[in-house]
Amino acid sequence: MRRATSRTPAIVAVVVASILAAGKLVVGFLTGSLALVAAGVDNVLDVTCSGLNVFFLGLARKPPDEEHPFGHEKAEALSGVIQATIIAMGGLYLAGRSLWELATGSAISATGPGLIVSLISLAVSVALGLYLSHQARRYRSVALRADAFHYLTDIFTNGTAAVALLLVRMTGAHWWDPVGSLVISLYIVRESVDILKDGANELLDRGVCAETQRAVVRAVESLGPEVRGFSDLRTREAGRTVFVELRLKVDRSVSFERSHELSEELIRRLREELGPTTQVMVDTDPV
């Protein structure tokens, strides 16, 4: 059986988000619920971002070429930055609309349909968010992790919309609806900042996490007494690929051939530890 690629989860997400968005927006506009419309707009953003993922994940899979000798995997990080920007802009718009309705007043014609749609969307979002989180870990994909975040936050947004509609139903106070919408929009803006930071860090070649750097240290130390340490360690990530550069300090009594064997062994161990696509550049210095 052919192994699924990381575009498949993104395509699934586009289809599901489109269905959820249509349901929420139709019911929201028919009943006048801004909280449900806000949740629907959030799904429209999900559709947009998932569509971007389908494109950028396809671009990231392209092999290196003359213009891009290191490959295209940073396309995933670029996708994450674009998504975060879109999410933040949508959240700010919803916040402004919510404040306007709080100031001018709002009215909901019916709460029952909105509650049903919110609860169904809540269940679907949980399932889809967990699925995408699993796929993001499997492919070590920033773009899919951003996509998973969209649907896991829907747990909060759908829950907030349902609570707001329930409070309107119980109390008759319609201002609960724009309050729920305002809470959803502020949450969207706050959480989009984390996605933006992750994508920007990858685009700016930030070094790998401390645990990955410790894995490099362990790999060097496991080479034996012929190796006296290392210097000039530089690391970065691009999509699922880790890049490692270092200078290996080798006992000066070691032959050139043996130095080469030690370098190749280090590369092998790092790929076992960090993944088969890990790119390692090793220079040796006699000490």
DSSP strand pairing (227-238 vs 241-250): antiparallel
Residues 196-225, mean pLDDT to the nearest whole number: 79
DSSP strand pairing (241-250 vs 279-286): parallel
Instruction: State how far the alpha carbon of 257 is from the alpha carbons of 107, 230, 262, 284, in Å.
Output: 80, 19, 9, 11
The closest of 274, 259, 265, 263 to 216, measured between CA atoms, is 274
Question: Tens of pLDDT along 51-96?
Answer: 776 777 677 677 777 766 666 667 777 777 887 888 788 788 888 8
pLDDT at 2: 36
Residue 49 confidence class, pLDDT cut points 50, 70, 90: confident
How far apart, in whole angstroms, are the C-alpha atoms of residue 151 and residue 14? 11
Residue 286 confidence class, pLDDT cut points 50, 70, 90: confident
Domains and CATH numbers, the chain: 7-203 (1.20.1510.10), 210-286 (3.30.70.1350)
Q: Answer whether 91's CB lies under 8 Å from 85's CB.
A: no
pLDDT at 4: 42
Q: Answer whether 235's CB lies under 8 Å from 213's CB.
A: yes
- Amino acid type, 16: V
Write the burial class of residue 190 (CB in 10 Å: 0-12 exposed, 13-18 middle, 19+ buried): exposed
pLDDT at 143: 66
What is the DSSP annotation of 119-160?
HHHHHHHHHHHHHHHHHHHHHT-HHHHHHHHHHHHHHHHHHH
